[in-house]
Structure 1
Amino acid sequence: MTSDSPRVAMLSVHTSPLAQPGTGDAGGMNVYITELSAALARRGASVEIFTRRTSSAQPDLVEVASGILVRHITAGPFEGLDKNDLPGQLCYFSAGVLRTEAARQVGWYDVVHSHYWLSGQAGWLAADRWNVPLVHAMHTMARVKNLTLAPGDTPEPMGRIIGEEQVVTEADALIANTPAEAQDLITQYQADPAKVHVVTPGVDLEIFSPTGPGGADKAAERAGLGLAADAKIVVFAGRVQLLKAPDVLIRALGVLTDHGEEVPTLVIIGGASGRPTALRELEALAYQVGVSENVVFRPAVPRTELARWFRAADLVAVPSRSESFGLVAVEAQACGTPVVAADVGGLRTAVEDGVSGVLVPDHDPHRWAKVLAELLHDDVRRAALARGALTVAARFSWDTTAEETLKVYSLAARG
């Protein structure tokens, strides 16, 4: 492999890096692939991202930036397929990937880097056919997710677990976001420890910063977003699904109402994922617990707009039941906003408890209500956490992520 300028086949079957994060199946993985590809390209790599076409309007090829191409592969109908339907389209998708390489000179790609188990299945075939290493990133794992299911959520099927096991076995290298994820790969999937490499994601400190364009601070952002200058604002940003647990925040507001305490404004930014009724269910829950007037729903927004909401907030809440990392937490901290997060998975790496935010040990709405209320009423502590948030966020860099990923590519190529 030409390690100084590798040609990378990046696979993301079920979600395109061009999709808006925070809706459908688009989330942190989309940001990860986009930012990693950009950082790799800055180091001389050529990255081609293969993803499934979901619209007839999508061209075969999109040049995102110098050194980065997105290839749309037709595999099944453009619309109407749920993520759980996609295993039946992997053969078709894999054929499209292989045909792309067949039109090139022999040995065109140096490495296959797949994301999520569906991509790992397709990547396994491509890497085997091309005789190049397969580097895989799980992003989420069925066994881990099933251990922390929300009430009423559906367990991941055995078919996915088997598929993940196969990818773990066949990959030449596995990239984990955190030491905790690495340990899960080893204990839950019997991954060879020698194949597992911890590479922490980064954050774009130009977009996510304490001041916006023109030096806009919290007051200016609030004015621009139509928020009261003296309001207590908590922001949740992400896909609206049981796994991300925004319902915990609404129930926490209900607890504050029941106790006669001041109730902050909760801004939920994102679209329904998995369940098309997810937003309506949250609206109904807010009505049931008496906080409809305190909950504001906003659709997913571009990252520059998301940074404005983070700067405007007093706190950003990440109550996920399972999280391989938690990019939202780091992005919020980069804006100088403390984070209240669940004490799970990668959030333990993204948030430093008592320094950049607070980790909550469970999903009890009463506990979340207590933590939120205490922080919102303690300006001095929030200010200290805001300073700590900037320090913690500065540790994460996409350039470092790319450098470490290139090292993994080289190690995988050596066998």
Structure 2
Amino acid sequence: MGESAIGRVAMISLHTSPLDQPGTGDAGGMNVYVVELARRLAEQGTAVDIFTRATSSRLDPVVPVRDGVTVHNVHAGPFEGLTKEQLPGQLCVFAREVLRAEAAHPAGHFDVVHSHYWLSGQVGALARDRWGVPLVHSMHTMAKVKNEALATGDTPEPQARVIGEEQVVEAADVLIANTDLEAKQLINLYDADPGRVEVVHPGVDTDVFRARTPAERARARRERGLGDDALVLLFAGRIQPLKAPDVLLRAVAELVARRPDLRSRLVVPVVGGPSGSGLERPTALANLAAELRIDDVVRFVPPVPQPELAGWYSAATLVAVPSYNESFGLVAAEAQASGAPVVAAAVGGLTTVVRDGHSGLLVDTHEPHDWALALERVVTDAAYRDRLATGALEQARQFSWEATAAHTVEVYQRAHALIRQEALTR
């Protein structure tokens, strides 16, 4: 195979479909990542077949998404009611169907397997051995990292996942990390070979998430029922302990206590739906808002498509990302590309995405008092906020899906070189 001949990739995203709406259930930044990467790979000449588990009988088995990108809805287990924790029991069925799909084509149909999340990595490892092509794997999140920074009341990741991740790390020819920090975590926590870890930053769709004119921002506010002088503190993402929307609400309560004069202008939209352990108590965040006596300023908004989400970013005074961990922090990147300052937890990939004091503020703790001070600084100083907004746009230029796709193809080529080298040394 020549250096540039990556003609077709089998991309495996077992536990969440790239066709699902991000912001609820198990759909989030990884869904966006898979779709956007596949789209840009296709535009650059590499076709992509995405294999995911069918969650409805109404889904067609094969769905063309755009030229060069096809989603395969694989039947494995019941369509509904199967939690992510129960999916390991369906790995064999899913893997069999993926192998069967490839068997319908001439040998060498796929050049690379690229799996996303550990469950997909288990299937990818089997496909790698059967097809004789390299396995490239993206973790997205890691059990050992999540368990080290567990939110209060959240459920630890099970040991079965830890073991499964260790197996995938050992099986993959190359591991893609979103940031330098994630690369170090793979090496230090999972004993990954440093020579097989590549850092490839995710991107942002700058056609959707872009700077708006003052008139466009004013229209975005009017369309959402927000006043011109409203101080809009936006949370976007899945409602679960890991994402820590409760930290934002507690900080807002403290901000209101410190600065009661701001209350009449404050609006806190929470855009997203329950997910993960948050499904066990779907009304918990609304109950907390009432308990904190800020339910008059909090507004719950169901998950929205990306163009609508871009409008929310444009309407925001700032975007809060208080997560306990993020492998990258796509919401922060999208917000910055939209010209919104970000106040984020100084964890994981957020320390790469957000430049502290330039495109936003990084908060070292999850204490409501510290978050209230950071929020207050941004909302009460218009000149400082404008500087951060300018810095946000500048910071966002580092991240593009076109660059992500080009770098990913280089990783695919390197993975091929590694397995050729291994074959020669056997």
TM bucket (normalised to shorter chain) is over 0.9
Residues 1:386 and 2:397 aligned together: no
TM-superposed CA distance for 1:115, in Å, is: 0.1
CA distance in 2 between counterparts of 1:278 and 1:344 reads 25
User: Structure 2-normalised TM-score?
Assistant: 0.95
1:40 matched to which residue of 2? Answer: 41
Pairing of 1:10-409 with structure 2 (within 5 A): 10-211=11-212, 216-261=215-260, 262-263=262-263, 264-274=266-276, 275-409=278-412
Conserved 8 A contact 1:241-1:278:
no
TM-superposed CA distance for 1:53, in Å, is: 0.2
Conserved 8 A contact 2:234-2:316:
yes
TM-superposed CA distance for 1:5, in Å, is: 4.1
| Cα distance change, pair 279–217 in 1 and its aligned pair in 2 (3 A) | farther
**C-alpha deviations, 1:89-113, integer Å up to 9, x for none?**
0000000100001111011110000
* Aligned partner letter, 1:31: V
CA distance in 1 between counterparts of 2:274 and 2:394 reads 33
TM-superposed CA distance for 1:260, in Å, is: 4.6
| Cα distance change, pair 47–11 in 1 and its aligned pair in 2 (3 A) | same
**C-alpha deviations, 1:250-278, integer Å up to 9, x for none?**
11112123335324211000000023254
TM-superposed CA distance for 1:219, in Å, is: 1.0
* Aligned partner letter, 1:68: V
Runs of at least 4 residues of structure 1 off by over 6 A? none
* Aligned partner letter, 2:162: I
**C-alpha deviations, 1:301-332, integer Å up to 9, x for none?**
00000000000000000000000000110110
TM-superposed CA distance for 1:171, in Å, is: 0.2
Conserved 8 A contact 1:210-1:217:
no
* Aligned partner letter, 2:386: A
CA distance in 2 between counterparts of 1:69 and 1:203 reads 21
Conserved 8 A contact 2:6-2:413:
no
TM-superposed CA distance for 1:216, in Å, is: 5.0
CA distance in 1 between counterparts of 2:26 and 2:215 reads 32
TM-superposed CA distance for 1:224, in Å, is: 1.4
Alignment coverage as a number of residue pairs: 413
CA distance in 2 between counterparts of 1:27 and 1:44 reads 26
SS at match of 2:293: coil
TM-superposed CA distance for 1:225, in Å, is: 1.3
TM-superposed CA distance for 1:279, in Å, is: 3.9
SS at match of 2:85: helix
| Cα distance change, pair 312–70 in 1 and its aligned pair in 2 (3 A) | same
SS at match of 2:60: coil
User: Structure 1-normalised TM-score?
Assistant: 0.98
Which consecutive unaligned segments of at least 5 residues does structure 2 have? 419-426
**C-alpha deviations, 1:234-259, integer Å up to 9, x for none?**
11000000000000011111212333
2:424 matched to which residue of 1? Answer: none
**C-alpha deviations, 1:12-62, integer Å up to 9, x for none?**
000000000001000000000001001100111010000000000000000
TM-superposed CA distance for 1:217, in Å, is: 2.1
* Aligned partner letter, 1:287: A
Conserved 8 A contact 1:240-1:278:
no
Conserved 8 A contact 1:98-1:126:
yes
* Aligned partner letter, 2:274: A
Conserved 8 A contact 2:6-2:111:
no
CA distance in 2 between counterparts of 1:127 and 1:165 reads 17
* Aligned partner letter, 1:102: A
TM-superposed CA distance for 1:368, in Å, is: 0.4
* Aligned partner letter, 1:20: Q
Which consecutive unaligned segments of at least 5 residues does structure 1 have? none
CA distance in 1 between counterparts of 2:392 and 2:352 reads 13
**C-alpha deviations, 1:183-228, integer Å up to 9, x for none?**
000000000000000000111111001128xx85221110111111
TM-superposed CA distance for 1:406, in Å, is: 0.5
Conserved 8 A contact 2:6-2:409:
no
SS at match of 1:201: coil
**C-alpha deviations, 1:352-374, integer Å up to 9, x for none?**
00100000001001110111011
Conserved 8 A contact 1:257-1:290:
no
CA distance in 1 between counterparts of 2:73 and 2:215 reads 38
* Aligned partner letter, 2:269: V
Conserved 8 A contact 1:218-1:311:
yes
CA distance in 2 between counterparts of 1:260 and 1:69 reads 53
SS at match of 2:38: helix
